[in-house]
Amino acid sequence: MARILYLDDEEPLVFLATRMLKFLKHEAEGFTRAADALAAFQSKPDAFDLVLTDLSMPYMGGLEFAKQILAIRPDAAVVVATGCIEPRDEEAARALGVLDVVMKPGTIEDMARTVDELLKKTETVTTDGR
């Protein structure tokens, strides 16, 4: 079971994603505003195993949010999810230290597979020291 912070500006997506994550036996805290998610992370930076954020959001985009999270906790496993992955977005995310850029999961099976793969990457990063 992982503790996951999920951020997307679309409330129905946050509702569905957090429900799917809980169904998959993870703890999930969902947010629709980056400022609220950032405040939650700041108050307990070690409480999350994985931070999943949407790429395109108003006020603070996913890359800026990731940058702020990584400034608080450089070893945080931050993943950017998007409906359309552009090579420049992936390059920018990797330059910030983001773990991965993934397509937004559409089904419970997609969510399970995506989170499982991401959690395996966090274990690799932890054991490799990167």
CATH at 104:
3.40.50.2300
Per-residue confidence (pLDDT) for residue 6, from 0 to 100: 96
CA neighbor of 120 nearest in space, from 77, 66, 74, 70:
77
Helices marked H in the chain — which ranges?
11-23, 34-43, 62-72, 87-96, 108-128
Per-residue confidence (pLDDT) for residue 125, from 0 to 100: 55
Per-residue confidence (pLDDT) for residue 124, from 0 to 100: 64
**Tokens at 100, concatenated:** 């991965």
Per-residue confidence (pLDDT) for residue 130, from 0 to 100: 46
Please calculate the CA angle 33-6-59 and round it to the nearest 5 degrees. 25
d(CA 78, CA 38): 12
What's the full length of the chain, in residues?
130
pLDDT digits (tens, 9 = 90+) for 45-57: 999 999 999 999 9
Q: Which residues share a beta bridge with 5?
A: 29, 51
- Is the pTM above the cut of 0.75? yes
Q: Which residues share a beta bridge with 79?
A: 52, 100
Q: Tell me the one-letter amino acid at 48.
A: F
From first to last of its 130 residues, the chain has per-residue pLDDT tens of 899 999 999 999 999 999 999 998 999 999 999 999 999 999 999 999 999 999 999 999 999 999 999 999 999 999 998 888 888 989 999 999 999 888 887 777 888 888 888 888 887 654 445 4
Which range of residues forms the domain containing residue 71? 3-128
Look at the chain and report how many structural domains it folds into. Answer: 1
CA neighbor of 5 nearest in space, from 24, 57, 91, 36:
36
